[in-house]
Structure 1
Amino acid sequence: MEAKIEVLEESLAEVRKTFRSGKTRSVSWRKNQLRALIQLINDNEDKVMKALYDDLGKHPVEAYRDEVGVVLKSINYALNNIDKWTAAKKSSLPLLFFPAKGEVLPEPFGVVVIFSSWNFPIAMALDPLIGAISAGNTVVIKPSEQASACSAFLAHYIPLHMDSKAIKVIEGGAEISELLLQQKWDKIFFTGSPRVGRIVMTAAARHLTPVTLELGGKCPTILDSLSDPRDIKVAVKRIVAGKWGPCSGQACIGVDYMLVEEKFAPVFIELAQGIIKRCFGEIPKETKRMARIVNKHHFERLRNLIEDPLVADSIVYGGSLDEENLFIEPTILLNPPLDAEIMTEEIFGPLLPIITLRNIQESVEFINSRPKPLAIYAFTKNEALKGKILSETSSGSVTFNDVMVQFLCDELPFGGVGQSGFGRYHGKYSFETFSHEKAVMHGSFFPEIGPRYPPWNDFKQKFIRLGYALDYFGLLLLLLGIKR
């Protein structure tokens, strides 16, 4: 452990020294690092795919869609916009401050640490890195040890392609994470569970370090009783693909549970069964179109959810488990007890509870009775219901008539609220997350207004009061004794 501490301290000393040198503030340095990251991925895409398969059993198409493609898209977006992002923005000042000029200048925080998650181990490490580099920071990445192959890949290849004095990858388990949290950082970016998020925030408070927490939550999907059979089929297909496609449901923005009217539940279940078979095969574990559960601990956690005696009877489809291969088939449950763990904790796996309501309008009250989710999905053409969801619920995001696609949009911020996290990133929002916006005012030596200085008198008090009520020219006219 002493050797690890020594290596960690040396790494931190080097990234701090690099930041103080000022080299990372150069826009050309930032662009070069982003281009180097593109080259890293392009040169080693096959190795990325293998690492993702070794850790999670991800199919190459899924791996490209959810990880490699996401990162490449984000890098190119940053490269196309970084000159605009880094430029000082003029601020329009009130006439009271004339002839002063104002601007807002983005500057890097300094030395930042990124704790990434195991479910999307490449994207969740590199996507925040893009924002941190674009903003001009030096960075330490702590990959999740639960995705060991991807962690080893990042630790080996990032120093070969990128500035190793400014960007470090530090591997290890919980003890290394704890050591990192004891250090003084200029910014902490964490992706993971609310439980660990509390630990991160507690550690950050010691040094008053700003934190972005990308956590999870139970993301609900509202399925209205659509009248058009084509709309129903599209909705069910998107829900099935969104629930079981990305990492077998091991996704923070994945569908956690569904809310439907009682009369519509049988329609969904019947359609979903057929679509599951078409997407993932009659025997999904043999088609290898689904990722596996990341490790035995999480497999046992999910097993306990559905083997709960109060829950087992609610399974209407699936439910088989393969412990040896860490595989759980797509499983649908109908009205499990609301106080069961499957309905109180984030599932993070291929289990889909369906909760039936007498009227779909009740879905808003149901969602509001629980912690604020990272995302709400709603399939409906009812504009009144849409308005009710937007105005009466709180969540990191709302997506109508689709699932999870909001994560891919660089033009929209991604982040949580309340227990699902705080802070935001993606596109320009990533740049802003890793930047401090410094207010700059350029003053002038003229005019010099006497009433701003002591000694005080009644005239100066009147002048100051009017100053807050009038604009600059109003004060000037007042001084000259001219009425408007």
Structure 2
Amino acid sequence: MDQSLKSPGQSALEDAFHAMFELTRTKPAPTLAERLDRLARLRALIANNESRFEKVISADFGHRCATETAIAETLLVLGEIKHAAKHLKKWMTPQRVPTALQFLPAKNRLIPQPLGVVGIIAPWNYPLQLTLAPAVGAIAAGNRVMIKPSELVPRFSALLKEVISTKFDATEIVVTGIEDDISQAFASLPFDHLIFTGSTRVGRLVAEAAGRNLTPITLELGGKSPAIVDRSADLGEAAERIAYAKLVNAGQTCIAPDYALVPEASVQDFAEKVQASMRRMFGTDPANKDYTSIVSDRHYQRLESLVTDAAAKGARIVQAAKPDDPAWKTKRKFPPTIVIGVTPDMTIMQEEIFGPLLPILGYKDATEPVSYINRHGRPLALYWFGKDNATRDEVLARTVSGGVTVNDCLFHFTQINQPMGGIGASGTGAYHGEWGFNNLSKLKPVFYRSPFNRLADLYPPYGAKISRLEKMLRFMS
């Protein structure tokens, strides 16, 4: 683009990128001490501003439960930092790799190196966690980091930009603005790796922009994550755990159970138990501080339209209140909603819900849930409830998803020694702990030839010696 046509924001964005880029090519990889220092500064930044982050996130949402911010955001990121700092020396150590017999006494090593500049396009639903958890992996791997927060959480974005600038040089970590021109230009920068968390629709656009630079990407998307309630399940226990996972952050969670598959004969009983659990945990008062608001009027209206569409097409709607009730709508609190009798032509079964709406589908045969799931895009998460281990293992073997929690929801995400990532339409790549370190490093293979190896026998002129060596190699292969 002609420089004269660029906005000041775009020019500043490119200048910040190129300053980082040049340093990644002229300076060696950060030492262990430098990386630990960056992680320590990030930890202090979060700990010292925890209450400020909680307040601005709540203001951006309209209301965000403080406990959910602490548990699902602050503590998770602090845990990521602590884990990375504890294990970083081991992760950075070159790995011994076996050497094939015919090349002995040579040796192989995998040497982790920083990729360079990592870009992070962050979402709004867990702005602190889903911005800084990927940054932890990038910092641990020795990269420089550029962050573009979501425009839906402007107060959080402004605070993050402010506090990052007080703890980090602009060539270590920088937070960009949220203006539209910057948003469009960010993914087009020639990053060494780009991480995007958000919708599948926007993820495709980000992938297209990154592809023009052959930029490797990690996409953390979403989709329709199912919860299967087996006939062997404790119905009350499953209902309570699914209800909690559906209503935490008012359902605005990429790995929330999107719908439940329940034995047909148990649908009504299950729905009643879910409703009872929702009321016990979150009540029926929109002023309840434990219940989070929907992030914007547009998202609230989208949820209303999903319910209206489902009702018009024959679904039965069970709600604590009507969404257009001023007591709820003025606070952007969407009433917990159960949708019974959904069909494939309903929009609610075609789009990721991202709100406190739980469709329930009945099934007759135990094979139906797997068949239904496999006819659709591979989900980011899958949940299975029951006591029949053989059926459980059959479901795990015949479905493919980003992650699974058995007899609960969400908690596979919190396992720091397990990778977090989708597959297909629900994403690509992974992070968390060592998985994030490796994903954001170049594990460079190095072969150290020994002076005692007879590799020179492979050189021409070929003759009897190569025939003997070929026979030996065939024997070893």
Shared fold (TM-score greater than 0.5)? yes
> In structure 1, what is the Cα distance between the partners aligned to 2:305 and 2:50?
37
1:242 matched to which residue of 2? Answer: 245
Distance in 2 between the 1:114 and 1:251 partners?
19
2:167 to 145, 150, 161: 161
Question: Which 10-residue stretch deviates more, 134-143 or 164-173?
Answer: 164-173
CA distance in 2, matches of 1:449, 1:377: 53
Does structure 2 conserve the Cα–Cα contact (< 8 Å) formed by 1:281 and 1:287? yes
Q: Does 1:306 align with 2:307?
A: yes
Following superposition, the deviation at residue 457 of structure 1 comes to 3.4
CA-CA distance at 1:218 after TM superposition:
0.1
Q: 1:10 aligns with which of 9, 12, 15?
A: 15
1:19 touches 1:166 (CA, 8 Å); kept in 2? Answer: no
Change in Cα spacing, 1:12 to 1:358, as seen in structure 2 (3 Å) is same
8 A Cα contact 1:24 1:30, kept in partner: no
Corresponding residue for residue 480 of structure 1: none
Shift of 1:319: 5.7
Quick one: structure 1 residues 448 and 396, their matched pair in 2 at CA, closer, same or farther if it must change by over 3 Å?
same
**Residue type at the aligned position of 1:287:** N
Consecutive aligned runs of 4 or more in structure 1 exceeding 6 Å deviation: none
1:18–1:166 contact (8 Å) kept in structure 2 = no
Could you tell which deviates more after superposition, 452-461 or 376-385?
A: 452-461
Q: Does residue 256 of structure 2 align to residue 254 of structure 1?
A: yes
In the TM superposition, residue 313 of structure 1 has moved relative to its aligned partner by 4.1
**Equivalent position amino acid for 1:435 in 2:** S
Q: CA RMSD in A?
A: 1.7
Counterparts in 2 of 1:447 and 1:359: CA distance versus 1, 3 Å: closer
In structure 1, runs of 5+ residues without a counterpart are 472-484
Decide which of 386, 395, 401 is 1:395's aligned counterpart.
401
Q: CA deviation at 1:462?
A: 5.0
Change in 2 beyond 3 A, CA 1:210/1:465: farther
Q: For 2:81 and 2:374, locate their aligned partners in 1 and report how far apart those are by CA, in whole Å.
A: 37
1:63 pairs, out of 69, 73, 77, with 69
Matches of 1:35 and 1:202, distance apart in 2: 35
Deviation at 1:138, TM superposition (A): 0.4
Q: State yes or no: 1:369 paired with 2:371.
A: no
Using the alignment, how far apart are the partners of 1:3 and 1:281 within structure 2?
A: 49
- Amino acid of the structure 2 residue aligned with 1:205: G
Q: Which residue of 2 aligns with 1:40?
A: 45
Task: Choose the corresponding residue for 2:276, options 274, 277, 302.
Answer: 274
Q: Deviations over 1:382-429 (max 9, x none)?
A: 112111111111111121101001111101111001110010111111
Pairwise CA distance, 1:161: 1.6
Match of 2:144 among 106, 127, 138: 138
Which of 179, 183, 186 aligns to 2:185? It is 179
Structure 2 counterparts to residues 48-197 of structure 1, below 5 A:
48-56=53-61, 57-197=63-203
- TM-score, normalised via structure 1 length: 0.93
Distance 1:347 1:145 in 2: 20
> Bigger CA drift: 88-97 or 445-454?
445-454
- Taking a change above 3 Å as real, the CA distance of residues 23 and 459 of structure 1, as seen in their structure-2 partners, is closer
After superposition, the C-alpha distances for 1:77-103 in whole angstroms (9 at most, x for unaligned) are 001100000100011102211111110
TM-score (norm 2): 0.94
Supply the distance in 2 between the matched residues of 1:213 and 1:398 (Cα, whole angstroms): 18
> Bigger shift: 450-459 or 104-113?
450-459
Number of positions where the alignment pairs a residue of Structure 1 with one of Structure 2? 466
Pairing 1:20–2:8 present: no
| Whole-Å separation in 1 of the counterparts to 2:315 and 2:459 | 79
> What code does the residue aligned with 1:51 have?
V
- Indicate the residue corresponding to 2:3 in structure 1: none
The answer (yes or no) to whether the contact 1:259–1:360 under 8 Å persists in 2 is: no
The DSSP-based 3-state class of the residue aligned with 1:378 is: strand
The answer to whether the Cα contact below 8 Å between 2:284 and 2:320 also exists between their aligned partners in 1 is: no
Gaps of 5+ in 2: 1-5
Distance change in 2, residues 1:454/1:23 (3 Å)? closer
Q: Which amino acid aligns with 1:156?
A: E
Residue 378 of structure 1 is matched in structure 2 by 384
1:475 aligned residue: none
User: How far, CA to CA, are the matches of 1:466 and 1:381 in structure 2?
Assistant: 55
Aligned residues with identical type, % of pairs: 36
Asked if the contact 1:364–1:388 (Cα under 8 Å) also holds between the matched residues in 2, the reply is: no
**Is the 1:306–1:312 contact (alpha carbons within 8 Å) kept by the matching residues of 2?**
no
